[in-house]
Amino acid sequence: MYTISIDGGAVTQLEIPNAYWASYSNDGKYIAYTPLYEPYSQWKQYRGGMESRIWIYNVKTHKVDEIPRPNGVANNTRPQWMDDTVYFRSDRNGEFNLYSYNVNSKETKQLTHYKDFPVQDLSANNGNLIYEQAGYLHLFDVNSETSKRLKVNISTDLLELRERYVSGKKYVRSGSISPSGARVVIDFRGDIITVPAKKGDPKNITATTGIHEKDPEWSPDGKSIAYFSDESGEYALHIQSLKTGSVSKTQLNGTGFYKFIHWSPDSNKLCFVDNGRNLYVFDKTASTTTKIASDKLYFPGPYRELFGDWSFDSNWISYTIIT
């Protein structure tokens, strides 16, 4: 660790032997720092010999005190000093949240209680903390102990965002033939479109600007088309009736991305996989999704096709797993 005046000048090496992250106290008498590289960026809830600790270093006496960790287990990191308090990130209760440690009372306090995504990239200034969580910036007021999400609007005038004509053949990614063979359904630039084999016009059955639909599959009875859509913000299973145009929407609880729809012969069920190497079956009549298998070992690539085939009576499924 080195220090330099904000006005420039000589660079001075600190007497801290080694550190990964550091923050000065307001009066310059103390430094809160993490001595080791942080391995939990690769392994969530890392518990090993390189768990991140925050040490408080007395510049004058060279004495070091550690911010306590419950039973000596937790990653404490990114210290930020304001007045008599060190603010930091810790995963002591599962997900990384914001904590404070008062150097006088020795009290540690949890300030945020996120359970879905971690608090990241903490910075402090003038009574406020700013951090990233779930892809958004949040401002934390240390006096009221409340967080406010910041709305950052970045306007741009990129050529790629302007309306323009494009060649269609470059953007067809997947498709399925209708049972009669008269039409094909394709995934085209985020919309689901049916195209005639010989005569007729293409028909956009979704026409949803700003929504991404993909991987359509025609049901064996020819009455429905199933596909995945991120209309809700997360990919869900949509099944559109070709007779009425109505769409049934089912939220999925897999690992976020899905592929390889396979209808059962009776058109009442379908299988699909997610990017976590899990195989699911959806019952259209009961509107239920059941996880039926998963790989034990990782297989390279974003997806792996676990599904094998449906039995003729639609009551059985064959599949493979990697163990």
3-state secondary structure of 41: helix
The last residue of a domain, from among 84, 116, 149 = 149
- What pLDDT does residue 133 have? 94
Does 163 reside within a domain? Answer: no
The residue length of the chain stands at: 323
Q: What is the pLDDT of residue 264?
A: 97
Q: Do 183 and 100 fall within a single domain?
A: no
Give a yes or no: residue 116 inside a domain.
Answer: yes
Local structure of residue 194 (DSSP, 8 states): E
Q: Is 68 contained in some domain?
A: yes
Contact assessment for residue 84 and residue 102, using Cβ atoms and an 8 Å cutoff: yes
Instruction: Please indicate, yes or no, whether residues 87 and 177 belong to a single structural domain of this protein.
Output: no
Q: Cα dist. 199→23, 195, 196 in Å?
A: 71, 9, 6
My answer on whether 27 and 74 are in the same domain is yes
3-state secondary structure of 162: coil
φ, ψ for residue 145, nearest 5 deg: 55, 45
* 181 and 122 in a common domain: no
Cα distances (angstroms) measured from residue 34 to each of 26, 57, 66, 187, 245: 18, 11, 10, 50, 59
Q: Would residue 172 count as lying in a domain?
A: yes
CATH code at position 281: 2.120.10.30
**pLDDT for residue 287:** 93
pTM, entire model: 0.55
Same domain for 195 and 60: no
The first and second tokens of residue 232, run together, are 């809700």
Residues 209 and 144 in one domain: no
pLDDT of the residue at 51 = 87
What is the rounded CA–CA span in Å between residue 274 and residue 254? 6
- Asked if the structure places residue 156 within a domain, the reply is no
Q: For residue 79, give the CATH number of its domain.
A: 2.120.10.60
Are 193 and 185 contacting, i.e. CB atoms less than 8 angstroms apart?
yes
Q: How many domains does one find in the chain?
A: 2
| Residue that is last in its domain, among 118, 149, 180 | 149
How far apart, in Å, are the Cα atoms of 108 and each of 86, 115, 119, 237, 316?
Answer: 9, 19, 17, 45, 55
**Residue 56 sits in which domain range?**
2-149
Is the residue at 158 inside a domain?
A: no
pLDDT at 41: 66
Q: What is the mean pLDDT of each run of 10 residues along the chain (323 residues)?
A: 90 89 90 84 78 92 92 90 93 92 93 92 90 94 92 84 77 92 94 94 92 96 96 96 95 94 97 96 95 90 93 96 93
